[in-house]
Structure 1
Amino acid sequence: MNSSHPFLDIPPGGGPHRRRPRGAVRSLTAVAAVAALALGGAYAAGLGPFESDTGPDPEAVAAARAFLADWAAGRLPQAAARTTGPDRAEQVLASFTTGLDLGTPRLMAGEPEESGAGDGTLTVPFTAKMPVTGLGTWTYASELPLRKQKDGAWKVEWTRSLVHPRLSGTEKFRLEREETAPVEATDRSGETLSAATHPLLTPVLAQLAEGGGGPRGAVLLVDRETGEVLRTEASFGGRGTGKGDKPVRTTLHAGWQSAAERALARAGGKNAALVALRIDDGEILAVANAPASGFNRAVSGTYAPGSTWKIVTSGALLLKGAVAPDDVVDCPRYQTVGKRFQNVETSAHPGATFREAFTESCNTAFIGLRGRLGEGELGDVAKQYFGVGQTWHVGVPSYDGSVPVPRDATEKAASMIGQGRVQANPLIMASVTATAVSGTFHQPTLVRGAEDTTDTTPLPPEVAHRLRALMRATVTEGTARVLAGLPGDIGAKTGTAEVSDDRDNNGWMVAHRGNVAVACVVEEGVTGAGSAGPVIRALLSAVPDS
């Protein structure tokens, strides 16, 4: 698994650009899985004290949530130890996922309920969201029975059905995938696109199968002995458009796609993704994913966008007149809001203007401005002006971003710099860039004629003008100087997003030139300028007429 799995919503820990020295060399997949599991389970299960002074015993609720956290994080021995039947519990929890191809689950506890039977039992309902690789999310509800033990400790009363209400000694689950023929697709001019000619388009072509319905499959309840299918628990994938053997006409440009794939080779073999789209209508020109055998991380991935998100934060501040480019905002080495945030390489820029804070990507300056935005204002601006968090109909399954209302001051500080629970991907950030420089959001599309249900407000011309100027200055005198010297009036923003203490930071860069906006993320790229920067430069060098 990878930490950018589309169903993870876990904020990274620590400061925005801080990481500890790496230990012994481990595979990227293993590190990503451990980091995702360790963080994902605890947060998704909703760990924390039970705040009410009345009602169910807080220790019982804590026991239930700790069980869910361990289960979600893959700590099965620890989860089993919290039950009344640890040996059997560990065996069932491990075998439940066999053959189902599940990713990291999200297990969300509900409000506890007292049984009313006077037998010392308590029930905690929970919702399980199980991501089925390449298909979608299997969501169901179950509940945890808890009983107080003789020693006073609360434990989960073990029963197989708590894992899923229909799991039993005679019934289990099986995943079946429906094979779909490779899709035939063409670019905007009718040129054929295939995995052979454009290998980094492979994940997209798989989703275009059956006219955008994508891969199909189902989770089935079957008899353990006979294998007889008893019912369908969850089904995935659309029925297609009935176009038969007709190729799918896309908005892609074969030349841009080829250039994007060559440019992504500059990522040095790391997991990476890139999107290029037209600014005036949102039509996608190129989508490249590395490795080709992975999922469509460019469109479906969930990443902290890091400092590229400062485009949206700046837009929010400028919209309400909370800051002007020449205002002095200062940029100290550190800013403490519940925890210590810092700048890349702990740099400081005393007396910096807001313009300099943007071009030098000063985290502490932006965090220092958090009080000038309301608690949910950043998310409101992202949705209303940039379309982030609305439902997009791209033509393939997409993740359309999330900017939750911060739960505390620390999370608000993190959201100002694209960390915390702010989630995006290259498609979203390419669209954010296009919206910032044009002033108008256009739903990104991969297939012409896609439905558009978005509803946004154009940015005031002065705000768009100032955002363009800030991005241009970032190229001429700031952190995006790697693009300086290329032809055209290029604007850009770099980003470095923390993932976890034992993984290098993800590197980001967004840029625009002419009528095209691009965005690139390189997992464990360390810095945006150093990893995504060469990719974007290679792309823009190959297509100088953009």
Structure 2
Amino acid sequence: MNTFPDLPRTGPRRRPRTAVKALVAVTAVAAVGVGGAWGAGLGPFAGESGPDPEAVAEARAFLADWAAGRLPDAAARTTGPDRAQEVLSSFTAGLDIEKPVLTAGKPVEDEESGGRAVTVPYTARMPVAGLGTWTYTAELPLRKRGGEWKVDWRLSLVHPRLSGTEKFRLEREEAEPVRADDRAGRTLSAAAHPSLGPVLDQLARSTPGGGPRGAVLLVDRVTGEVRRTEAAFGPKTPEDGRPVRTTLDARWQSAAEQALKKAGGKNAALVALRVDDGQILAVANAPADGFNRAVSGTYAPGSTWKIVTSSALLLKGAVAPDDVVDCPRYLTVGKRFQNVETSAHPGATFRKAFTESCNTAFIGLRGRLGDGELGEVAGRYFGVGQTWHVGVPSYDGSVPEPRDATEKAASMIGQGRVQANPLIMASVTATAVSGRFHQPVLVAGTEDTTRTEPLPPRVVGQLRTLLRATVTEGTARALAPLSGEVGGKTGTAEVSDEQENNGWMVAHRDGVAVACVVEEGVTGGGSAGPVLHALLSAAPSS
């Protein structure tokens, strides 16, 4: 039994055919806040003659307390403090109002009251959590009794339509899971492809007609009959009901999900995309029901970033593949840097430094690049750090100019403040072997605002040779058994003293570029290598 007729009353759940709706009944309706101008003692009626300033001040104080959530204080300023607090407390939870805002209008004095009645109109803007903002106007009546101004309590001061016979109800409609097809029209679902769960959730919110919907309804207090819709939120459902056509390939997606099992239960993610146009064939995440780390994650890319660093060096002729470079076990630049397993390669060529992923060799070449040059190359040729419109929210990378020599040394090997994810590194790989950046896309027809330049053919040829050599004679040997011209690059990225390194690997084969990160995988070859070998072994030719 509901002892207080103005408090929320929860009715039985209904399960309509198109969606699940949660119904929450409330008495009061709107949340309000305080506009900064009148809260500071200024406003449209500051300094004017007319209504008693003390009445206006009391209205402002009431609204300020109400908006700030000081409901006992607000209620104490009314003629019915117990009832006022009861109602004001009920509407906030019932309508899920967050951080309300209220703007006062010009007060009006009741001429027949002999200066003992004033009305202050206000505009209420109530953000309903997860839906939108409901805006309406109402009035605060004030009366002077016993020499003291009070807000004359009545339900209609909360909202003009709130009364003893009618109340408000918030109705939420959960968005249906998006219907999505792959590039060939095959149905995609989280049931068939569990790892797509986070992607489909994002797609639902990014697609016209997707996302949460709801409404504030005026209903009869006794029967619950809806009298009118006060506010509606969320996009309209598409009339045609057609599924979203994605660039994904269900066969690649299945292969990707199976391949991630090779990560041994660790958090991991991978992306596969077409080299010639950036269309995404697979996005997989482990755990399957977690964060979409493949597209939105932020990781240090480790030595896979040496693809970009090498591009910057080769573009300006700062080094050639056969040049001898120094590759000692350690190199100190503010801090001590070392190679994986503290290996050293005396008399190594740049090609050898790339294929064996020699950190100290790349750091030793830092003086041949300007402080901001690595970031400029990443943006100009690889699109990293520009805004991508993938079709779902994405993190598009960051390569800030280093703040000191140590940070510059770290950025040469994909550490420091360099940030990427599997989507970015798959795209970097595709750009390196094709010579041209194509914005990755998950939904065809997305906007492309990126501006890049093609890599010179000379540099593309050198990068392809380096990537191939890393598979045949370097740290990406895990991919050597695969047929065809397979190129790759491993990466090991430090996280913290308390965590094991993240393992990375990128690769390309038959017009598809792939990238994988395994959190706390220790080494790229040992953790991400088996994942990509499994993927490329099982994936169909695209």
Pairwise TM-score range, normalised by the shorter structure: 0.5 to 0.7
1:209 and 2:204 are equivalent in the alignment: yes
Alignment of 1:356-505 (within 5 A): 356-505=352-501
Alignment map for 1:36-51 (pairs within 5 Å): none
| Residues 538 and 445 of structure 1, relative CA distance in 2, 3 Å threshold | same
Amino acid at match of 1:402: S
Per the alignment, residue 522 of structure 2 pairs with 526
SS at match of 1:209: helix
Change (3 A) 1:292 1:351: same
Contact 1:212 1:240 in 2 (8 A): no
In the other structure, the counterpart of 2:175 is: 180
Deviation of the 1:245 alpha carbon: 2.4
* Gap change, CA 1:215 and 1:337, over 3 Å in 2: farther
* Cα shift readout 1:393-437 (whole Å, capped 9, x = no counterpart): 000000000000000000000000000000000000000000000
% same residue: 80
Higher relative contact order (CA 8 A, sep 6+): 1
Paired with 2:503 and 2:205, the residues of 1 have a C-alpha distance of 34
Helix, strand or coil: the match of 2:258?
A: helix
1:165 counterpart residue number: none
Q: Is the 8 A contact 2:175 2:213 kept in 1?
A: no
Amino acid corresponding to residue 208 of structure 1 in structure 2: L
Distance in 1 between residues matched to 2:498 and 2:403, nearest whole Å? 25
Aligned residues of 1:259 and 1:539 also touching (Cα < 8 A): yes
**Partner letter of residue 330 of structure 2?**
Y
- How far apart in 1 are the matches of 2:519 and 2:439? 26
Counterpart contact for 1:210–1:241, Cα < 8 Å:
no
How far the C-alpha of 1:242 sits from its partner, in A, is 3.9
Amino acid at match of 2:177: P
Within the alignment, does 1:306 sit opposite 2:299 as a pair?
A: no
Change in 2 beyond 3 A, CA 1:534/1:384? same
Which piece of structure 1 moves more, 206-215 or 180-189?
206-215
- CA–CA distance in structure 2, aligned partners of residues 315 and 205 of structure 1: 35
Q: Which residue pairs with 1:149 in the alignment?
A: none
Residue 515 of structure 1 pairs with residue 515 of structure 2? no
- Structure with the greater alpha carbon radius of gyration: 2
Match for 1:470: what amino acid? Answer: L
* Partner residue in 2 for 1:332: 328
User: Alpha-carbon deviation of 1:180?
Assistant: 2.0
> What is the match of residue 275 of structure 1?
271
> CA deviation digits over 1:124-150, x for unaligned, max 9?
xxxxxxxxxxx9xxxxxxxxxxxxxxx
Tell me how many residue pairs correspond in the alignment: 355
Q: Is the Cα contact below 8 Å between 1:210 and 1:239 reproduced in 2?
A: no
Q: Does 1:200 align with 2:195?
A: yes
Judge conservation of contact 1:487–1:544 (CA < 8 Å) in 2.
no
Structure 1 residues 253 and 473: alpha-carbon distance in aligned structure 2, compared to 1, 3 A threshold: same
Provide closer, same or farther for how the CA distance between residues 367 and 249 of structure 1 changes in structure 2, counting only shifts above 3 A.
same
Q: How much does 1:295 deviate? A: 1.1
TM-superposed CA distance for 1:292, in Å, is 1.1
Contact conserved, 2:252 with 2:540, CA < 8 A, in 1? no
CA distance in structure 1 between the aligned counterparts of 2:238 and 2:540, rounded to whole angstroms: 39
Gaps of 5+ in 1: 1-99, 101-134, 136-175, 219-236
2:490 counterpart letter in structure 1? T
d(CA) in 2 for partners of 1:477 and 1:371?
Answer: 28
Q: Which SS does the other structure have where 2:270 is aligned?
A: strand
Segments of structure 2 that go 5 or more residues without pairing to the other structure are: 1-95, 97-129, 131-170, 215-232
Rounded to whole Å, the distance in 2 between the matches of 1:424 and 1:212 is 25
Aligned to 1:296: 292
Q: Cα RMSD over matched residues? A: 2.1
Aligned partners of 1:473 and 1:491 also within 8 Å:
yes
Q: What secondary structure is seen at the aligned counterpart in 2 of 1:345?
A: helix
1:247: Cα distance to partner? 0.8
Work out whether residues 210 and 240 of structure 1, in 8 Å CA contact, stay in contact via their aligned partners in 2.
Answer: no
Counterparts of residues 145-164 of structure 1 (less than 5 Å): none
How far residue 177 of structure 1 moved from its aligned partner, in angstroms, is: 9.4
